[in-house]
Amino acid sequence: MTGRLIVLSNRIPTAGPPSGGLVVAIDELLAERGGLWIGSGDDFVDTPSESLQPIQGGSGYNKVIFDLTEQEHKEFYLGYANSVLWPLCHHRPDLIAFDRRYAESYATVNARVAKMLAEIIAPDDLIWVHDYHFLPVAQELKRLGVSARVGLFLHIPFPTLPDLNALPEREQFYQWLAAFDLVGLQTEADVACCLQCFRAQETGEMLFDGRLKFQDQTFAVRSFPIGIDAKSFFSIAEKPLKDDPLHLRKEDRLILGVDRLDYSKGLTHRVRGFGKWLEKRGAKSPRGTLVQITPPSRELVAAYQDIARELEALVGHFNGRYGELDWTPIRLLEHAVPRETLAPLYRLADIGLVTPLADGMNLVAKEYIAAQDPDDPGVLILSRAAGAAEQMTDALLVNPHDSEEIGDAIERALSMSCDERKARHKALMQVVRDTDIFEWGAGYLDCLERLEIASAGPFDEQGRFCRKSERKSDPTMGEVCRDQSLDHGNPQKIG
């Protein structure tokens, strides 16, 4: 590739060195390839500029921002992105805010961003769009005559067909996705869900090379499980805290949960599960303290206000019922904890409790495993509804809706032998290494680049891209994946 890498995301780091796995990975990819990172500015304006504004850049690449008005923040970001698409993709269509102004603002912002992008894109540039804030961008770019390759990575779950039917803009949703050259999803289950949705459309076809055709657009869908910078996180976790922030008794056990305040995280279900363990706890069972770190988010959205009130009430209920003079069973922190403190806390925790009701991947699960002492690791309790559960099968997998199952898993984890804990951790740590954040980013871009060279394929039937070493020659179909077994003949309708 001779062109630049252009990354578009809703937020962009505007000050200081990059931190956090995803931000660091994008920073390194841009520094290596050269290019541009585009995101929204921190301050609202009265009249948005029609051009991108440069800000202090990274090393070897540039950063630019686009403007938003306060009204656009309310309608584009809080409105359509987070009160329509977010609940849609997290299987809560009952929480969708049906307000046509939100869709209009979403379309307006995306069209403006696409127009500014089109003015700077060269044909050999590579455009990488992140997440649900910019689903229409590729379609807008094509309308403006942009021929460069455009890829999307959706960090959140893909909606089901019944969920999509609740979206007023469902027809546009399919057109938005089909305009990308590559749609990257977190899991194979997400790929299957995407294929099912397009299968239900009259103009959906699956081509022999594994791509999808929808109306007059052809695109590829595949899974790219995101990961973390495990080495960096382990090195932070190894550094002991100067002071004990918890002051637990030596024989007490620590159960740790870390999530943004969001209804998709299953926080109230988790607390009820811990409450079930408290209820069934035997006289000889150790005292367990659940430390739940829950920074607020999107406080202006009504659904988030409701979940905060319910969570606080449940914590008070269980503490009042089961607490003792020297023991508060649940500690709720409604603010963020610095990464330098959080990583050692993961290492101290006997249990990592990760029980979302729906999650694209959930990197807390991978961070918890990466932080552990391999000679005395803790136990990961993981929701089957988290994308990470597709790979991390050696965790204690639970139904996040079943409080009794969560309580039983806590008891099992607390009584698990060291040998079993070490065996589970070893297998889970291999998963973390195999899904390294830097390999993830490079793998996605490699796939997007190959779309131009190899006519977008081949892919296998699960939507996974096949490298050259994984391909074989077919006399009728040409180059296909070794395990691909499609019928010969004309391209078939999906279904």
**Is 155 among the residues known to form the active site?**
yes
End-to-end CA distance of the chain: 36
Give the strand pairing for 471-474 and 478-481.
antiparallel
User: How far out from the chain centre does Cα 93 lie?
Assistant: 19
CA gap 187, 384 in Å, rounded: 13
Chain centroid to CA 45: 30
Return d(Cα 460, Cα 467) in angstroms, integer.
Answer: 11
If you ran DSSP here, which 8-state letter would residue 102 be given?
A: H
Contacts of 172 (CB under 8 A, 6+ apart): 136
Q: Is the peptide bond before 54 cis (omega within 30 degrees of 0)?
A: no
Candidates 90, 130, 133, 155; catalytic one: 155
The residue to which tokens 């630019």 are assigned:
64
Q: What angle do CA 233, 34, 236 make, to 5 degrees?
A: 10
Sign of CA dihedral 414, 417, 420, 422: positive
The span from the CA of 226 to the CA of 205, in Å, is: 28
> How deeply is 107 buried, as exposed, middle or buried, from its count of CB atoms within 10 A (0-12, 13-18, 19+)?
middle
Q: What phi and psi, each to the nearest 5 degrees, are found at residue 149?
A: -70, 135
Distance between CA atoms of residues 342 and 18, nearest Å = 18
Active site residue 460: no
Strands 330-333 and 288-293: parallel
Residue type, 333: L
Which of these is catalytic: 67, 359, 436, 460? 359
Contacts of 262 (CB under 8 A, 6+ apart): 297, 298, 304, 307
CA proximity to 358, closest of 186, 492, 199: 186
Task: State the catalytic residues.
Answer: 155, 359
